[in-house]
Amino acid sequence: MSHDLGAALALSDLLFDRQTLEAGIHRIAGEIDQAYAGTGGERPLLLTVMHGGLPFAAQLAMAMKTDLQFDYLHATRYRGATQGGGLEWKHRPATPLQGRRVLVADDILDEGHTLKAIIGWCQEQGAAEIRVAVMSLKLHDRRVAGVQAQHVAVEVPDRYVFGYGMDYYEQGRNLPGIYALKE
- Residue 41 banded pLDDT, cuts 50, 70, 90: confident
| Statement: residue 4 has pLDDT above 90 | yes
Rounded mean pLDDT, 99-115? 95
Q: What is the pLDDT of residues 45-88, one digit of tens each?
A: 999 999 999 999 999 999 999 999 999 999 876 555 555 556 78
pLDDT over 70 percentage in the chain: 93
- Residue 22 banded pLDDT, cuts 50, 70, 90: very high
Q: Parallel, antiparallel, or unpaired: how do β-strands 12-16 and 178-181 relate?
A: antiparallel
| Statement: residue 156 has pLDDT above 80 | yes
pLDDT over 90 percentage in the chain: 84
pLDDT value of position 158: 97
pTM of the predicted protein model: 0.92
Instruction: Look over the chain and give the mean of its residue pLDDT values, rounded to a whole number.
Output: 92
Domains for the chain: give ranges and CATH numbers. Answer: 5-36+48-78+87-181 (3.40.50.2020)
pLDDT value of position 75: 86
Task: Tell me the C-alpha to C-alpha distance, in Å, between residue 94 and each of 105, 119, 145, 156, 179.
Answer: 16, 16, 29, 32, 34
Q: What is the pLDDT of residues 114-147, one digit of tens each?
A: 999 999 999 999 999 999 999 999 999 999 999 9
Closest CA to 154 of 116, 109, 119: 109
Greater confidence, 162 or 38? 162
Q: Residue 154: what are its φ and ψ, rounded to 5°?
A: -145, 160
